[in-house]
Structures are given as structure tokens and as C-alpha cells.
Structure 1
Amino acid sequence: MKITKVAKAGTLESNDILVMVMPNENSGIELQLESIVMKQFGDQIEKVINDKVREMGIEDIVIKAQDKGALDYTIGARVETAIKRAL
């Protein structure tokens, strides 16, 4: 599936994540992640986001995420919602 427009989900409140998705003019998945817990959990957050994108069969996407300490299930839900809004 292809992303056709810009969409976002989430907030910048504590324990949440703001996810914005947009079409990638280049090919592939591009992730831009900012997190208050990057040193501790950055790899895990990236894994959750990338797994959700692949699970949904998305290609050529740019994901900008600003994390404020969200748990894995919240991250997955925000990514899924943003992608569904962008299709």
C-alpha cells in the first residue's frame, strides 16, 4: 500500500507519542525519531514502529515521531492510526 497524504496521530503529552506520516519521494521507510528515553529505549521504539509499518504492508513512507515515554502498545496504535488516516 502507498501513503497518499500527510497524517498524524497522538499528542505531546507525557507517556504519549506524536506520529506524523507522509509519502516518501525516495523509496523505502525513513524514520526520524526523537525521544526523551532515546538512550534507554531508542532501539525498541524503532523496532515497534518498523514492525508495524511492515505488518501493514506499507512502502515508501517517512515517519516523524516525537516520543514522550509511550509504551509499546501506544506506539503501535499511534503508528497504525496515522497510517490509516494517510491512506
Structure 2
Amino acid sequence: MKIKKEAMAGTLESSDLLVKVSPNTGIEIVINSDVNKQFGDQIRAVVDQTLNSLNVTDGLIIIDDKGALDCAIKARVQCAVLRGAEEESLDWSKLL
């Protein structure tokens, strides 16, 4: 799956995150987080796992985290990627 257009999901409220995606050659992930020192590795792992489950091969993913839980990170990344990839048919089993 490739990101075809800019898209976003989420908010900048406390305990949430804003995910922005845009077209790019290869995958590039940028994480800005208030809790990066404590949880940066875990945030990156959740983002990587989510992108792998969706078979994302190209795209720039920018994460602005405000202390979101793993389930919120996964949901926001899925939503932004699906919007940006303009997917019309979903394999719902990949969204678990």
C-alpha cells in the first residue's frame, strides 16, 4: 500500500495524537512526543507494527503524540493511512 495523498487523523488533545501522512519514496517516520524519552521506543514499535500489518511500502508518517495509549496510536495510524491511500475495499482482518 502506498500513500497517495496527504491525510490526517486524531487531535492534539491530552492523551491523544495527531497522525499526518503524505506521499514519499520509502517509509519515513517522524515522532514528536511529550513522553519521547520514556515511551519513544514503544511508540515507534506500535507505528511500525501497524504499518507492517497494512503492508505500507511508501509514505511519510508524522506523529505528534500527547501521551496516547497503544490502542489509540494504532487506530489513528490505521485511519490516516487508509485515508491517504484512498483504499476503497478493506481487509478488515488487518485492522485488528
TM, length-normalised to structure 2: 0.86
Structure of larger gyration radius: 2
* Residue type at the aligned position of 1:69: G
Aligned length in residues? 85
Structure 1, gaps ≥5 residues long: none
Deviation at 1:2, TM superposition (A): 1.4
- Supply the RMSD in Å over aligned alpha carbons: 0.7
Partner of 1:47: 45
Identity %: 52
Task: State how far apart, in whole Å, the 2-side matches of 1:42 and 1:2 are.
Answer: 25
Deviation at 1:60, TM superposition (A): 1.1
Partner of 2:71: 73
Task: State how far apart, in whole Å, the 2-side matches of 1:14 and 1:61 are.
Answer: 26
Runs of 4+ residues deviating >6 angstroms: none
Partner of 1:3: 3
Q: Tell me the SS of whatever aligns to 2:44.
A: helix
Deviation at 1:29, TM superposition (A): 1.3
TM, length-normalised to structure 1: 0.95
Task: State how far apart, in whole Å, the 2-side matches of 1:2 and 1:33 are.
Answer: 20
Structure 2, gaps ≥5 residues long: 86-96
